[in-house]
Structure 1
């Protein structure tokens, strides 16, 4: 089958359920699995019934976002199957994730362990320079036909020749609202919905 080009995929919120893994990090830090307060909350701090931390307790939690954490994040339901659907349709998949470089190999192992057909992970900064996506430089170098992310600010500054697809998950407190939605060429409930729309083309 002729290859149709590269599709670049974000990880957290698109491929992997970072919000669910956050509860595990909290349990590791403080010995108690938090109660889910709002399953439709975009940010983990709002999804789980947890306190806002500072000082030593915040440091305790941050230390739990280690190699083991980044290797063990569960997949978003349907995401593995969606990736295989895109591969079967002739696309090549890469992951472009805002993650410290030191954890890039952990992310690769995490994806492989779940059966994602993704061999290459590109790690970028998570701060948007000048209001533009920190993923823009990597995407411009890769020249994918499409880029899929669940965080609207990361679509800003991406070349318009790249189809910018926004995953509209978890509406409570979502940043995916307002005038900046013009930077999204399409909106989808999840990666499965994106894959189905792109494999029908």
Structure 2
């Protein structure tokens, strides 16, 4: 009998993109940035870094390569939380708004960190009336979809439990009437797992 599927976002749910961003900054410019606001939702607001233009922006973006996407550190508690779900009988699939060319790097990243996740679906990112993740979540027959970005719940089927990870509140997009799309909200993945497994 097939395991029920839980679809999990990567950055902000499984992986700490903020720390990876700071490491990418150091790689591009030789200096690890100072922290400005540990409760900032967006990395550019968390770290004390200037807005970049033209050449420097291209230089920074060039660090977001296979090496970057295969070495993003795990969020504290996320690996253990995933093992709890796996041990409870769930199949975990990572659904990430990442360019398809980095799908293998993301899969390697999760595997090397010890996540019990064999499948990664890279959907790409675009702002529209329907989440770029909605088709993937529906296609894999997910029972649950966990993400930390409210707009990615647009178009998720009503039958799917939509779990929002709130994390850092400052500047968060996870506010407003669109919260009606959400079935439950949690501070982090371990809190969601506590909730889900205690039903």
TM-score interval, smaller chain: over 0.9
Query: Is there any run of 5+ residues in structure 1 with no aligned partner, and where?
Result: none
State the distance in 2 between where 1:114 and 1:72 align. 9
State the distance in 1 between where 2:117 and 2:58 align. 33
Contact preservation (8 Å) 1:3, 1:90 = no
- Write out aligned runs for 1:93-112 (5 A): 93-112=92-111
Contact preservation (8 Å) 1:10, 1:149 = yes
State the distance in 2 between where 1:157 and 1:187 align. 18
State the distance in 2 between where 1:3 and 1:58 align. 46
- Aligned pairs, number: 199
- Give RMSD over aligned pairs: 1.0
1:75 is the counterpart of 2:74: yes
Equivalent in the alignment of 2:176: 178
Query: Is there any run of 5+ residues in structure 2 with no aligned partner, and where?
Result: none
Equivalent in the alignment of 2:165: 167
- Write out aligned runs for 1:20-39 (5 A): 20-39=19-38
Quote how far apart the aligned CAs of 1:3 are: 5.6
State the distance in 1 between where 2:80 and 2:195 align. 14
Runs of 4+ in structure 1 over 4 Å off: none
Quote how far apart the aligned CAs of 1:128 are: 3.2
Contact preservation (8 Å) 1:3, 1:91 = no
Call closer, same or farther: CA 1:146–1:123 in 2, change over 3 Å: same
1:141 is the counterpart of 2:139: yes
Name the TM-score, length of structure 2 as normaliser. 0.98
Quote how far apart the aligned CAs of 1:73 are: 0.4
Equivalent in the alignment of 1:89: 88
Quote how far apart the aligned CAs of 1:10 are: 0.2
Q: Secondary structure at the match of 2:15?
A: coil
Name the TM-score, length of structure 1 as normaliser. 0.97
